[in-house]
Amino acid sequence: MGSASSAAVGAALLAVSCIAPPPPPGPSVTPATHTTESRRTGAAATSKTDDAPTAVGPWKKGQNPFIGVRFFSDPYSPARLQSVSLKDSEPPKAALFAKVADGGGADWIGEWSGNVENWVGKRVTLLHSKGALPIFIVYNVPKRDCGQYSTGGIEKGEAYKKWIAAFATGIGNRRAAVILEPDALGLLKKCLSEVDQKERLELLRFAVHSFASLGNTAVYIDAGNSDWIKAPEMAERLKGAGIDEADGFALNVSNYKTTESSIQFGKDLSNRLKGKHFVIDTSRNGKGPPDSCKDPEGESCWCNPPGRGLGVLPTAQTADPLVDAYLWLKKPGESDGACNGGPKAGSFWPEQALDLAKNAVF
């Protein structure tokens, strides 16, 4: 399994959404740290040093979409609510939960999201009102996760296309970023027939085109992680999925691989893909994978391994010009599945959240 079951498969993920109840004044919005100039175009990036919301204006294709933006930290996330509730009774524990909450995390959108056009539309409106960039994980492809912990997805290809079209309509011409279908390419040949493999690539191409055509939405296709599918094979899968029209690819989603190994693998992929840029999920890679990890697809490597740590907070200031951003795509504290003592995939697990915070790199 490449993305640790990709962990966002229940309504529990949305139970603390800030769409339903109005958020209190001044929710936490984490500023993006960034370089002083765009690594793609050389355009100047305005430095943000205060906590006031900033306008989320149009984005020009070819520029790094994460420079100068803010990353949203949900005031109703489980970690934030835990931190608030323990502030007076257990301040040290409250501080640990605050660390988990501060990095925020992307919104995973799937069959649990209800009317996807409506939900996404409201979410974009909310985040833009806080000066933050919406980052969505598209996670509803047919035969998702090969029947493993995050099994599910929409049933038919045509229904998926309609769902994607509604998703894109919810965003409209407003600025956003989407990460397409964790594990869809990594598991391409694990459980799908040749006919289903062709359909999946066609559906991914449809999704890439649908979001890219919006004009202000940056699109990254999930490409697994540095210890899963070898670069030559993954590059071919990305080509079949429409990488030419996408803005880049995403690595280490829901996994624990180090940033260094992810950059090395990403550069290898980029060299095979006409210099495409990429993003890295750093939410839980502060200490890398467990030392006992031998088989990259074995559960001990990716399914709730103990003793891991939070990685660097979301930022566009990275160690390589090909890396557009380090992002928290997986929300730390959400279980990878019913393994190593964890609850079902996507459920908030306070013990894991505290473990990650205790071993954070910041």
- Write down the catalytic residue from 102, 222, 247, 336: 336
Q: Are strands 248-251 and 277-281 parallel, antiparallel or unpaired?
A: parallel
The pTM for the full model equals: 0.88
- Write down the catalytic residue from 183, 247, 281, 324: 183
**In the chain, domain spans:** 11-358
Question: Largest alpha-carbon pair distance within the chain?
Answer: 58
**Which neighbouring-strand residues pair with 353?**
none
Residue 110 contacts by C-beta under 8 Å, 6 or more apart in sequence?
Answer: 8, 9, 139, 140, 144, 152, 153
* Cα separation, 94 vs 322, whole angstroms: 36
Q: Are 283 and 105 in contact (CB under 8 A)?
A: yes
Q: Count the residues in the chain.
A: 362
- The tokens for 314 are 């979301």
268 catalytic? Reply is no
pLDDT by 10-residue block (mean), the chain, 362 residues: 44 35 34 33 31 68 94 97 98 98 97 97 97 97 90 95 98 98 97 97 98 97 97 98 98 97 98 98 96 80 94 97 98 94 94 98 94
* Cα separation, 106 vs 118, whole angstroms: 18
* Cα separation, 235 vs 213, whole angstroms: 23
Tell me what pLDDT residue 197 has. Answer: 98
- Could you tell me the fold of the domain covering 11-358? TIM Barrel (3.20.20)
183 catalytic? Reply is yes
Q: Are strands 323-327 and 277-281 parallel, antiparallel or unpaired?
A: parallel
Spatial CA neighbour of 216 closest among 179, 177, 161: 177
Q: Are 328 and 284 in contact (CB under 8 A)?
A: no
Q: Are 221 and 204 in contact (CB under 8 A)?
A: yes
Tell me what pLDDT residue 150 has. Answer: 87
Spatial CA neighbour of 332 closest among 348, 312, 315: 348
- Write down the catalytic residue from 102, 145, 247, 324: 145
Q: Is 331 exposed, middle or buried (0-12, 13-18, 19+ CB in 10 A)?
A: buried
Compute, in degrees rounded to 10, the torsion defined by CA atoms 204, 208, 211, 216: 150
Write the secondary structure of the chain as one string of H (helix), E (strand) and C (coil): CCCCCCCCCCHHHHCCCCCCCCCCCCCCEEECECCCECCCCCCECCCCCCCCCCCCCCCCCCCCCCCCCEEECCCCCHHHHHHHHHCCCCHHHHHHHHHHHHCCCCEEECHHHCCHHHHHHHHHHHHHHCCECCEEEECCCCCEHHHCCCCECCCCHHHHHHHHHHHHHHHCCCCEEEEECCCCCCCCCCCCCHHHHHHHHHHHHHHHHHHHCCCCEEEEEECCCCCCCCHHHHHHHHHHCCCCCCCEEEECCCCCCCHHHHHHHHHHHHHCCCCCEEEEECCCCCCCCCCCCCCCCCHHHHCCCCCCCCCCCCECCCCCCCEEEEECCCCCCECCCCCCCCCCCCCECHHHHHHHHHCCCC
145 catalytic? Reply is yes
